[in-house]
Amino acid sequence: MSTINEKKFLEDLQSLIAIKSTRDIAAATDGAPFGPGPREALDKMLELGARDGFRTKNLQGYAGYIEYGPEDAEDYIAVLGHVDVVPATGNWAHDPFSVHLEDGTLYGRGVIDDKGPTMAAYYALKSVKESGTALKHRIRLVIGTDEESGCDCMVKYNELEPMSLFGFAPDAEFPLIFAEKGRIFARIDVPAAFEETALRLKQFYSGERVNMVPDQAYAVLSGAAAEQAVEEAKHLLAAQNIDFTAEKIGADWKLTVKGQSAHGSEPAGGVNAAFLLAGALLDLSFAAEEKAYLAFLGQTLQGDFDGKNLGIAFQDDVSGKLTVNAGLSRYESGKGGSVSLDIRCPIKAVLKDTAATLAASVEALGFSIGDQDINKPLYVDPKHPGVQILKHVYEKNMGQNDVKLLTSGGGTYAQYLDAGVAFGACMPDYPYTGHQVDEHVRLSDLLLASDIYADAIRELGNMEK
């Protein structure tokens, strides 16, 4: 049975989940570089830390930390959590910004990614403090605010603070992830159509974050043939049992389809609404550039989660296959369009070569690469003493021996450490539901994770260099 005070844990978690901490750059200010929500969530965690007697520091609103251990210790162990969340799109059974407990399961945006695990790590730190365990190193719970949209918070953190001796991110799965794929974020730009046709793609819109499989997409059709085109598309969608709505807006028609969200690192686990909608529209009589845009979504990318059609498919014996998620799709008549891709590249992939091949492939289609960002993969030797400590702690708490360590397509803050891994909090026998509608986790799993983290903090806090 967990030693964590369940009632207080839930109260503090509820106070954090209630904050709509999605990135909002339009509302950014000095001290709130990612908008008011992420800053409020950071403040809440630092408030809890001050309440419980920890040292705390706000790092210009980008990040902050809660620290325990000998203040004069040269080194510290980092525990890296984030309090920003992806948007709560789709139809939730319960308010996504209120913790709902039903049959031992917690529901809410962030309960597993990553407010719940961050709170579990915080309560672990409280447990260590209350036990009076002697530590050689400082333990620093780092609170980030921009993990879901690029990790600029960790870039700033590393500018302002020294590197940790070792660390872990409670933002993935147990038993432990020692390798994470590299990532390429690329926006594919598509030219506008200026040909006068009876049917025009006035607008296409899908997705809110590049690292989510979009669960909704809509297109606005205009022109004399728009109504007939919508009827044809409706027939195709109905024949495939795809959930859709159609409505007349002035002289135009708007067609909306529903898919199923999933984490961008596992695009095959969701149903990309942009693909469904583009597939229903691509045989209609649009202008050539509009047809090319729809074909890119509905044919080139549709179902091609490993990048074969783009010429970038690759796999290795450490981290498996490359994956491609089309997270954001935009098109506006007269301005052109874009598709933003989240590409997770195996450890052994040469990222610059993958990016060059991608550019050549899209240029052959008449498109171009717009914004692009390349992040290196994470790999820590499984024999590293910090990894071995975490492996031992997990095995001891779970009553297991010689567990198999993992690799992942997901990216965590561990990539911003010289030596760090992802460690929980999702248990092996439970599905990971981050970024999904009705995100959920067992309460008992979070409490168990907190106990595991407490043991890990005690041992890492006395780790030999």
Mark whether 130 is an active-site residue. Answer: no
* Segment holding 182, helix H or strand E: strand 182-190
Active-site position among 12, 114, 146, 147: 147
Mark whether 459 is an active-site residue. Answer: no
3-state SS record for 295-362: HHHHHHHCCCCCCHHHCCCCEECCCEECEEEEEEEEEECCCEEEEEEEEEECCCCCHHHHHHHHHHHH
* Segment holding 14, helix H or strand E: helix 6-17
Q: Which residues fall within 8 angstroms of residue 69, CB to CB, at 6 or more apart?
A: 76, 135, 137, 138, 139, 461
d(CA 261, CA 371): 24
Q: Which residues pair with 80 in a beta bridge?
A: 142
Active-site position among 12, 84, 171, 180: 84
d(CA 303, CA 306): 9
CA distances (Å), 119 to each of 94, 114, 211, 366, in order? 21, 9, 23, 48
d(CA 328, CA 206): 6
Catalytic residues: 84, 147
